A and B are shown apart, each in its own frame.
Chain A
Amino acid sequence: MNESLPTRRLVRRLLFVVVGMFGFGFLLVPIYDVMCQAFGINGKTAGAYTGSQSADAARAVRVQFLATNAAGMRWEFGPLADQLSVHPGASQEIRFVAYNPTDKPMTAQAIPSVSPSRAAAYFHKTECFCFTQQVLQPGERIEMPVRFIVDRDLPADVHNLTLAYTLFDITSRQPPVAVNATSAPAKESLQ
């Protein structure tokens, strides 16, 4: 009864737990990213791949390409080929085209996703327009390359891969300043 000191100490400890759990909520953000990268969850692909592999000519995998505009994005955006047949280990290139039909310069960011998601960890991009942001002047059109390697260790039962890009309008976040897309410095590298 009336043990005011223990009560105060107890309350202090409980408040410490409260603050800790508030922080833990924010800690879940990096934990989630690490888990996604480690296990290829949610179709997330890793950043630029620097290794190289020898081609496995005995095996062919079909890679399909999808391009989607996020809500409100008015660019015309799509791959030059709908699909490619590739040998695991071999380096391949596919080009995407973007065209800004508006009368304003705009900035865009493409977000990749690979499905099936368990194959995401075996899809390596050595070069990708998604690593940087794109700035297009009114009426400007660019071709953007993606170089990728499908890992030789891709599970044997995976015969089809889909690489999907969603293009977001981030003009309000990153006001376009550069005159053309190729000289636009990468302000922020996203996978």
Chain B
Amino acid sequence: MSAVIDDHGHAAHDHHHGPAKGLSRWLLTTNHKDIGSMYLWFSFCAFLLGGSMAMVIRAELFQPGLQIVQPEFFNQMTTMHGLIMVFGAVMPAFVGLANWMIPLMIGAPDMALPRMNNFSFWLLPAAFGLLVRTLFMEGGGPNFGWTFYAPLSTTYAPESVTFFIFAIHLMGISSIMGAINVVATVLNLRAPGMTLMKMPLFVWTWLITAFLLIAVMPVLAGVVTMMLMDIHFGTSFFSAAGGGDPVLFQHVFWFFGHPEVYIMILPAFGAVSSIIPAFSRKPLFGYTSMVYATGAIAFLSFIVWAHHMFTVGIPLTGELFFMYATMLIAVPTGVKVFNWVSTMWRGSLTFEAPMLFAVAFVILFSIGGFSGLMLAIAPADFQYHDTYFVVAHFHYVLVPGAIFGIFASAYYWLPKWTGHMYDETLAKLHFWMSFIGMNLAFFPMHFVGLAGMPRRIPDYNMMFANFNMVSSVGAFMFGATQLLFLFIVIKCIRGGVPAPAKPWDGAEGLEWSVPSPAPYHTFQTPPDMSDVHEHRKGTGGELTP
């Protein structure tokens, strides 16, 4: 699979050229690498912004009683923290990784729809500008939780809710365009001979994620449109007074919301499935089963939404159906965890930063999965519902799941992006500080949740004081550590040990066949993949190499 690489020398005579100079490069670019970088930087800014809101929350919860912020502002912080982390940090980070890596992984010169790519990125600053601005408006920003249940978000919403609705519309359009771009790129721009079953798992999981996005982001747009009509045009979708039903909101929202949580984790599954084999120096165990497991998770994500609403009064048969369907998700997820562990089994493991994050991902995501199983038990959920146990659960799947997956990907591909090796010592420090901080912050939440501490409340009973203080200390540690990550990335961009084309000796994939840093244009002539075997068939089945 020798790749043909355009060197810049002979490119002068035709229309291919390097990046434009100045601001217009970033404003007008259609280059997948530029857009990928912009997505990643945008996501990191949102991560710091959403993270600083989490710091406000944890500072208030450091002690019982009200110390720092008023309850109204506390509600705005929990809402905005959730919205910014979900829609501003995690999703754009994965779109950024997709932009950078999918064309490099499948031997395509760029994304299939480069101009739309530019548009879908630039919608994001507009969307989040609208959203964050609401904090400074009269009446304050959204204060109804990131799930914006009606009638909190309609009848009782602050005036700024209309800006929130349009922000959701814009980021929805952005995500849908990004997803269409990924599908078109993966289905149409693969190098000759690159069959679907030869694609790296990151591409597979992103393809499935893109279909999820196309299916459910319009439903989110629909539900906020219904809110808009209820608020301004006198309809009664969610207003009981006019014949509507607030519970309907929860059904429509979670019909979007549950696939959404897999949208936030599937690309991380894919990235980890590239990283673990690289540092185990073994092919991925069970490639085919990984693909089918991802598909199964995506399918199941559509039929489990009501497990978020066990306590609203759905009939017993409904509770049973959604309980068993939810538990069924543990099967394909278990297949994945089994495959990652089997890949490491008897491998020649080394623990560079990407591998540390990937291993922590497997262990901690499993913990989050187990607490998810506990929540799936409908009768038990009546006890856990709306407590900190739920907060512990979804932070365990999102922080060491999605976020650690993004960190692992960033360290894994930083040498390819920048042409320099990152500082391994600092990166390991970043890992251990994040690992300890994150566990300190979120593990005690399991205990206070089981003991009955409710979510989204700025004050709490004295008996929860110790665990909350531990949580806050852990959160401050985790938060401060991310500034170290910023430093490591900037240091890596500015210099360091030059990275070879393939800095990880166990790594596989087309992206390592281009030099580091990846040239502005790659795979102008597609590589020929026809002589490469279908994905490691014959070697993937054995436990011993």
Instruction: Give the CA-CA distance A168 to B242 in the complex, in Å.
Output: 9
B313 within 8 A of A: yes
Per-position 1/0 for A112-132, Cβ under 8 A of B: 000001100000000000000
CA distance A168 to B239 in the complex (A): 10
Q: How far is the CB of B253 from chain A (nearest CB, A)?
A: 10
Q: How many A-B pairs fall under 8 Å by CB?
A: 106
B contact residues around A118 at 8 Å (CB): 315-316
State whether A42 touches B183 (Cβ < 8 A): no
Can you list 19 A-B contacts with CB-CB less than 8 angstroms, sorted by A residue number?
A6-B188, A7-B113, A11-B180, A11-B184, A14-B184, A14-B214, A19-B218, A21-B214, A21-B215, A25-B222, A25-B226, A28-B252, A32-B248, A39-B315, A42-B245, A42-B312, A70-B240, A111-B243, A188-B243
Q: Is the CB of B315 within 8 A of A17?
A: no
Contact call B218/A41, Cβ cutoff below 8 A: no
Q: Which of B220, B242, B255 contacts A28 (CB 8 A)?
A: B255
Asked whether A41 and B314 contact (CB < 8 A) given A3-B188, A14-B180, A18-B176, the answer is yes
* Chain B residues closer than 8 Å to A11, beta-carbon distance: 113, 180, 184
Cα of A28 to Cα of B219 in the assembled complex, Å? 10
Known: A1-B189, A32-B251. A26 touches B226 (CB 8 A): yes
Q: Closest chain A residue to B191 by CB distance?
A: A1
Bound-state CA distance A169–B216 (Å) is: 35
Chain A, residue nearest B190 (CB): A1
A26 near B176 (CB under 8 angstroms)? no
Contacts of B219 in A (CB 8 A): 21-22, 24-25, 28
- CB-contact partner of A29 in B183, B237, B314, under 8 A: B237
Q: Which residue of chain A has its CB nearest to the CB of B183?
A: A14
CB pair A170 B241 closer than 8 Å: yes
Asked whether A89 is an interface residue with its Cβ less than 8 Å from the other chain, the reply is no
B330 at the interface (CB under 8 A from A): no
Within 8 Å of chain A (Cβ to Cβ): is B170? no
With A22-B221, A39-B315, A170-B241 already in contact, the answer to whether A15 and B180 are too (CB < 8 A) is: yes
Q: B187 in the interface, Cβ–Cβ < 8 Å?
A: yes
Name the residue on A nearest B317 (C-beta). A39
Chain B residue nearest to A26 in the complex (CB): B222
B214 surroundings in chain A (CB, below 8 A): 14, 17-18, 21
The 5 closest A-B pairs by CB, nearest first: A25-B222, A168-B241, A22-B218, A21-B218, A25-B219
* Chain A minimum-CB-distance residue to B109: A1
Contact A43 B313 (CB under 8 A): yes
Distance A32 CA – B255 CA, assembled complex (angstroms): 12
Residue A166 CB within 8 A of the other chain: yes
Is B526 an interface residue, CB under 8 A from the partner? yes
In the complex, which residues of chain B have a beta carbon less than 8 angstroms from the beta carbon of A32?
Answer: 245, 248, 251
- Rounded to whole Å, the gap between the CB of B165 and the closest CB of chain A is 14
B247-299 interface with A by 8 A CB criterion: 247-248, 251-252, 255-256
The smallest beta-carbon distance between A170 and chain B, in angstroms, is: 5
A10 in contact with B183 (CB, 8 Å): yes
> Which among A36, A42, A173 has the greatest number of chain B C-beta atoms within 10 A?
A42
Q: Which of A112-169 contact B (CB under 8 A)?
A: 117-118, 166, 168-169
Q: 14 additional contacts, CB 8 Å, given A28-B219, A28-B248?
A: A1-B189, A1-B192, A7-B113, A14-B183, A17-B214, A21-B215, A21-B217, A22-B221, A25-B218, A25-B252, A29-B252, A40-B315, A42-B247, A70-B240
Contact A173–B526 (Cβ < 8 Å): no
Choose among B192, B220, B234, B313 the residue that contacts A173 (Cβ–Cβ < 8 A).
B234
Which chain B residues numbered 312 to 337 have a C-beta less than 8 Å away from chain A? 312-316, 318
A190 contacts the other chain (Cβ, under 8 Å)? Answer: yes
Q: Please determine whether B216 and A21 come into contact, CB atoms closer than 8 angstroms.
A: yes
Q: Does A109 contact B (CB under 8 A)?
A: yes
Query: Which A residues are CB-close (under 8 A) to B218?
Result: 18-22, 24-25
B315 touches A117 (CB 8 A): yes
B313–A42 CB distance below 8 A: yes
Distance between Cα atoms of A7 and B180 in the complex (Å): 10
Contacts of A29 in B (CB 8 A): 226, 237, 248, 252
Contact indicator per residue, chain B 208-244, by CB within 8 Å of chain A (1) or not (0): 0000001111111111001000000010010011110
Task: Write the nearest CB–CB distance from B261 to chain A, whole angstroms.
Answer: 18
Judging by beta carbons under 8 Å apart, are A28 and B180 in contact?
Answer: no
Bound complex: CA A17 to CA B183 (Å): 13
A190 to B252, CA, bound (A): 22
In the complex, what residues of A have CB within 8 A of residue B221's CB? 22, 25
Q: In the complex, what residue of chain B is closest to A18 when comparing beta carbons?
A: B218
Q: How far is the CA of A19 from the CA of B176 in the complex (A)?
A: 11
Partner of B241, one of A15, A22, A40, A111: A111
| In the complex, chain A residues whose CB is within 8 Å of the CB of B91 | none
For A1, A7, A40, which residue has the most chain B Cβ atoms within 10 angstroms?
A1
